[in-house]
Every structure is written in C-alpha cells, then in structure tokens.
Amino acid sequence: MKQKTFFQLSTITLACAALMACSSSSSDSPAKPSSEAQLQQQLDNAKTKLAKVKQQLSVAQADVNQHQQSLTQTSQQLTQTKQQLTKAQSDVKQLADTVSAKKAEVSRLTQEMAELVEVQKLGNSNDIQQKLSQTQQALVKANSSLSEAQNQLTNAEKQSASLKGTVAELESKKKSLSTQITQKQTQLSQLTAQVKAAEQTLDKEKSQLKQLTPDNPIVEAHTEENYMGDRYKWRSIKFIGGGIDQGSIVKNITSKDYSVMSYLLVPDPADPTGTGIKMEFRDLADIDFSQYPVNPQQIQSQEQFAQTCASKVACNPTVNRKIAEVRFVNQTYSTYFIYSDMEYRYYDGKYYPDASSMGYIFKELPQDNNVWARPSDQAIVTYQGRTLSYVDKNTLAQGDITLKANFADNTVSGTVTNRRGYKNNQDIVLLTTPILQPGIGKIGFAGQIQYGSYDQNREADGSYDGIFVGPKAEEVVGTIFSGVDGHRIFGASSQ
C-alpha cells in the first residue's frame, strides 16, 4: 500500500470519468468552443452529470458496506451455531454412553431375574422371594430410566441434525456474500482506474481551456470562504428530495432510513377561505458548518424551525415549531454530523421524532505518499475525538474515541470510553485491523468491535470502519455498528 498513489477526486474529474468525453491534445480532439459562455455551459453540463455520478458512487460504496456488514453478522451467527453444534454433538455422545450403560444394567438385572426364578423352582424360601421382588423392582426402574435416556438421545440427535443444517446454510450464505463482495470490490477498483485515467485527461483539457481564455479564467462558483480545489464549498450539506448532496460528502447516510424530510401540517395557500390545512413533505434547510468554529472536541448543534398549524383543526395563528436538530463536530479537514427530524402523525395530531441519520464530509484525502512511509519513530499516530448517535431517535448518545494507527505494520486499533446515553454504556474495544483501500482514492480500515475488555475467545459484537482525511492523514472519520446500539458516527484528530 505504501507504494500506491492516492488521488483526490475533483468535480470535473468525476464528470469526465462518467462521460468519458474529456478531450485531449490528440489530433482527433473535438473543436474548442468559440466563447467563454460555451465553456461555462460545458462545465455546467459536466456538473449536472457529476451529481448523478456521485450518487452512483455513493450507492455502490454503500452496497459494498452493507454486504460487508451482512458478512460480519453471518460469520458471527455461523460461529455461534458451530459452538451450539459442538455442544449438541457432545451431548449426543454422553447420552449414547448413558443409554449403553443403562442397557447393560437392564441386561444384568434381566439375567439375575432368570437365575432367581430357576433357584425358586428348587425351593421357594422367603429369602429367595424377597430377593426376586427386589430385583423385579430394580428392573422396572432400570427399564424406565433406559426409556427416558433413549428419548433424550433421540431429541439430542434431532437438535444436532438441525444445527448441522443451519451450519450448512450459513456457510453457503457466507461463501455467497464473500463472492459478491469480491465482485463488487473489483468493480470499485475498475472505477478507480477510470477516474485516474480521466484525471490525466482532465489536466490536458484544463490546460487547453486556460490557453483559450488566459486573461479571463472560467468561474466555476462564486467566490466565498471555505472554497477549495475546484471551488466548491466543502463544509456544507444540502438536502434535496429527501437526500443529501454538496461538496465532497462521501457517506451521505449511515442509517436504515434514508429520507431526511419533515412531514408537516401547514396552511394551504390554495384554499380561498384562508383556513385550509394540508400535509407537506419539506426538505431540511441547507447547513453551512463553516459558520461555526473548528474544535475537534466540541459537539455543536443547530436547530431548525418552521411555521406549522397549531392543530389539525386550526391553522391561525401558526406555531413556530422545532422540526429538526443537527449535532456535529468541526475538525480542521472534516465535519461529522448526526440529525433527527420531526414528523406529524395525523391520527393523534402530534409530532414525533423521525428516524435519525448521520454522515461526514471532508476537505481532501491524503496527497503525500510519505504519509504511509513514516520514519520508525513517527510510525504510530494517535487520534482522539468523539462518537455521536441517537437512542430512540431523539436522545443524544456520545462517547470519546481513541484510535491508534501503526503505519509501520499498517494496522489500526482503539477504544471508545466515557460512553453515555446508550442502551449498553460499556467501553468498546476496536479490534486491530489492517489499513486498506475501501473505496475510490480512499485509504481506511474496516474491523470488528467487542464490548468491555478484549477477549480472544469471545465473538465480536459489531463492526467499525473509517477513512483517513487531510493532506497528511491528520484526521479520521467513520462509523461504528452493533445490533444493540445501531450506527454511530465518529471523528478524531491526530495528537
């Protein structure tokens, strides 16, 4: 990995990769536009295509992540089922031994009964009669015990057979998921190669455009603070049609529910009486995180309000109602956030928290290959930050994360401590996992977690993943998942 070259994906680069239409300096290049207006239109068209490409890339990466989570869960189920099967097989062996022993006892008592009957024929003394009665009672008891043991053995054999079937199904599912993930990762690698080729072509194209208008460079966006690269405002998000877009966002939503629209009861402007009421889906307002200070240890928040009807029978006067809250942390090169919106329920006329979602945005990926080939005395880097989540959709839960990256052996490990607000507030161990390339132009990690302290004999309780951001990998952002607490977003800065 240390020999790889990592590229930051610019806006027009991705557009070129999607269109495969960026021109070059070769003789078959298309004719250059004759005016700046035409050039601007060309860039605008590329940006429109880019929005679609970004969504496709996001969906593809989310698909891979979902399959990886399914694989982790299936592996955990398989391990647990194998443990149950091992115990069931042990029980079968013990019960089989018990049945054999009880059969031997029944056989012995049966033989003893036969001998006593023969002796009784020679002379029926009280001692013989008493001994015969005792042996007969013991034989009845032994037969009953044998029957019970045989029933237990039959049930244990059935359970063992059922578990064998479950193990076979899980092994088949695990194999299928592994194959699918390999295929999808191959597709992502192919996209990475296409992006690299398109970026090289784009450099030639930009050079030609610059020569065409040397004194009047094309403006790709309005001048404003916090623009960078191709002049997009990276520390901001925009809500469009229930989804998120803007800047270099890389994981739009990490949640079961993708929609981030509020369902509101508002006045109906089309009603001529002025008293009409209607239900309306409304996007959240765009958020510019650059308006807030950069502090990797500070959890900040923004509330959003809307004028809504006071009730389902009256809309005058309206009520300025809180419809969403976004909590976030601004790091130098990234922002990670989590939000929850409110939804109106017509059946009782009240507003309730809707599904919470989360994500992160970043300014740039590491550009210097020396990041991955540090001197031995600088090979271990410690990152510290926060985790954010919602419990029951509107109660904030959080913790402190410490992540250690060892660039000498290319591994990551860590802990989450001081957890509060979760259903399980135990510390979390982020098990050691390799540094890898999880997506286009990204270097990161994907591993497993355990609650409490590390135990190599215990199964994982969930998973975690993330990427390095910043020109020299100064920060990490990512997610943690478990069946108990769901998804959490995290970020951390190097110390």
Higher pLDDT, 18 or 45: 45
Cβ atoms of residues 303 and 324 within 8 Å = yes
Angle CA 366–370–374, to nearest 5: 115
Question: Which range is least confidently modeled, 413-417, 438-442, 480-484?
Answer: 438-442
- More confident call, 215 vs 274: 274
- Rounded to 5 degrees, what are φ and ψ at 155? -65, -40
* Banded model confidence at residue 175, pLDDT cuts 50, 70, 90: confident
pLDDT, averaged across the chain: 76
Split at pLDDT 50, 70, 90, the class of 217 is very low
d(CA 203, CA 370): 24
For the segment 84-140, what is each residue's pLDDT rounded down to a tens digit? 989 889 888 999 999 999 899 889 989 988 888 888 777 777 888 888 888 889 989
DSSP letter for 251, please: B
Reported as a single tens digit per residue, the pLDDT across 18-37 is 333 333 333 333 344 444 55
Locate 344 and state its tokens: 């109106």
**pLDDT of 431 strictly over 60:** yes
3-class secondary-structure state, position 136: helix
Residue written as tokens 């592994």?
Answer: 178
For the chain, the straight-line distance linking the first and the last C-alpha, in angstroms and rounded, comes to: 24
448: phi then psi, degrees, rounded to nearest 5: -115, 165
What pLDDT, on a 0 to 100 scale, did the predictor assign at position 30?
39
Q: What is the pLDDT of residue 417?
A: 96
Residues 481-494, mean pLDDT to the nearest whole number: 90
Q: Are strands 227-228 and 486-494 parallel, antiparallel or unpaired?
A: unpaired
pLDDT confidence tier of residue 489, bands split at 50, 70 and 90 = very high
Examine the pLDDT at 49 and tell me if it is beyond 70: no
Q: Are 264 and 354 in contact, with CB atoms under 8 Å apart?
A: no
Which position has the token pair 């943690």?
Answer: 480
**Region 463-479: what's the mean pLDDT?**
93
